[in-house]
Amino acid sequence: MARDTLTGSRIRERRNILGMKQAELARRASISASYLNLIEHNRRRIGGKLLLDIAEILGVEPSVLTEGAEATLIASLREAALRADEAGAELDRLDEFAGRFPGWARLLAESRARIDTLERSVEALTDRLAHDPHLADALHEMLSTVTSIRSTASILAEPGEIDPDWQRRFHRNIYEDSARLAESSRSLASYLEAEGKAAAERGTPQEEVEALFEAADYHIAPLDAGAAPELVAQELGAELSPTARALLRRAFTRYAADAEAMPLDRVMEAVVVTGTDALALAQRFGTDPARAMRRLASLPRTAACGPVGLAICDASGVFTFRRPLPDFPIPRFGADCPLWPLFAALSRPMSVLSRVLQSAGRQSGAVTAIAFAQPSGPPRVNREPVFEAHMMIAPSPPRQSEPAEPVGITCRICPRVSCPARREPSLLGDAAQQGF
């Protein structure tokens, strides 16, 4: 049933919430009870003055009665239903459900969202236990040290004489190894204690760092003022997990290097002329486009060019930095649109790709994206470079001549029917029509 034909259901729902009899509403609206009954069962259309009168009597805006539940609520319910399709939820009556029982519908949608969050936390914790590089390294270090101590102590404990030089050397080795073991076991214990305490309350270490950047509005003033990145990371990241602090140190070291190559006061002056043109800015400072993009994304709100979005991913497509824009969200869990030039750049390293993008299904304006991939470190002999890609997003000028390319945010909520990059059916359409 279409959403705008459910006005009657919403009137009944609202009347019931207020505990008002049908006859009373009919009397106050100056219509017969039988006519109101037909309206409430969606068998008579309602509009004009009668709608305004009834809305006033029921104490709601007329649009609440005509438009019903929020589109996002409908989308959330649809997702909940699809994820548990064995339950046989009546998808064709979704609007009716959300319109008649908005409170229950919100409860269901919020419960589903909560389950999603919890499932992701469980996944992150399981993954951390299985693949935590810090844990693996610490255990490896401890076992290697124990092996050395055990082997050396066995030699010393054996009967018979050992050359005094060897004896001295082995004693020294055992002493050194025991000190190392004490240090690594202490470090491991505090790491596990800290992780255990906070893991359930946090996302991944990457998310912790992202939250810190977001809270600072992506501009870390002390680093622009020349403070040492280690000290700033120590101060701002005091509450982070050890792994997140390590990521933060690396991010701040890069930020500080960018700030040194492109000082804030000069960049603030330059963007008055260049705007968000990262290439022009890079040329002015004799640096690479990736650094110029990072610098644009770290400017204070007062910058003449306005805020820009930025996504940085490694060669496997995993985000290492995200600064979304209101018009261009970047999914947190990596299920983003494969059509973004960010990923095309990885297959065309050292070429600057520029695209005008229009997010499918969004009412917002087009954005200009430039993407660039370059090796993430210095060249090494006989080694393939490992690439890293940057994509900067800025609002498109109003008179953009280049046609916009339709892209999505993530397949799950993308309405495009025919898309060669689609990896899963959208909630917003028929799976068969989408090629599934």
CB of 247 to other proteins, least distance (A): 22
β pairing state of 353-359 and 319-323: unpaired
Instruction: Say whether residue 130 binds other proteins (CB under 8 A).
Output: no
Instruction: Say whether residue 152 binds other proteins (CB under 8 A).
Output: yes
Size of interface with other proteins, in residues (CB under 8 A)? 19
Helix (H), strand (E) at residue 205: helix 205-215
CB of 140 to other proteins, least distance (A): 5
Instruction: Say whether residue 150 binds other proteins (CB under 8 A).
Output: yes
Q: At what angle do helices 289-296 and 278-285 cross, to 10 degrees?
A: 110
Determine the interface stretch with other proteins among 30-38, 172-180, 319-327, 384-392 (rule: CB under 8 A). 172-180
- Quick count: other Cβ atoms within 10 Å of Cβ 82? 14
Q: Which residues pair with 388 in a beta bridge?
A: 314, 374
Instruction: Say whether residue 364 binds other proteins (CB under 8 A).
Output: no
Dihedral, CA of residue 23, residue 28, residue 31 and residue 37, to nearest 10:
-40
Interface with other proteins (CB under 8 A), residue from 40, 95, 96, 177: 177
Interface with other proteins (CB under 8 A), residue from 21, 83, 140, 186: 140
Instruction: Say whether residue 144 binds other proteins (CB under 8 A).
Output: yes
Interface with other proteins (CB under 8 A), residue from 16, 151, 190, 364: 151
Instruction: Say whether residue 166 binds other proteins (CB under 8 A).
Output: yes
Q: What is the DSSP string of 278-323?
A: HHHHHHHHT--HHHHHHHHTTS-TT-TT---EEEEEETTS-EEEEE
Gap between the Cα atoms of 25 and 213, Å rounded: 54
Instruction: Say whether residue 167 binds other proteins (CB under 8 A).
Output: no
Instruction: Say whether residue 155 binds other proteins (CB under 8 A).
Output: yes
**Residue whose CB is less far from other proteins, 135 or 257:** 135
CB of 139 to other proteins, least distance (A): 7
β pairing state of 319-323 and 387-395: unpaired
Interface with other proteins (CB under 8 A), residue from 169, 186, 266, 423: 169
Gap between the Cα atoms of 153 and 165, Å rounded: 15
Instruction: Say whether residue 154 binds other proteins (CB under 8 A).
Output: yes
Q: Which residues pair with 356 in a beta bridge?
A: 368
- Locate tokens 């050397």: which residue? 169
Instruction: Say whether residue 183 binds other proteins (CB under 8 A).
Output: no
- Locate tokens 């509450």: which residue? 239
What residues contact residue 186 under an 8 Å CB cut-off, 6+ apart? none
Question: For other proteins, what does the binding mask look like between residues 79 and 98, x meaning CB under 8 A?
Answer: --------------------
251 and 211 Cβ atoms separated by less than 8 Å: no
**Residue whose CB is less far from other proteins, 130 or 238:** 130
Interface with other proteins (CB under 8 A), residue from 31, 60, 146, 246: 146
Residues that bind other proteins (CB under 8 A): 139-140, 143-148, 150-152, 154-155, 166, 169-170, 173, 176-177
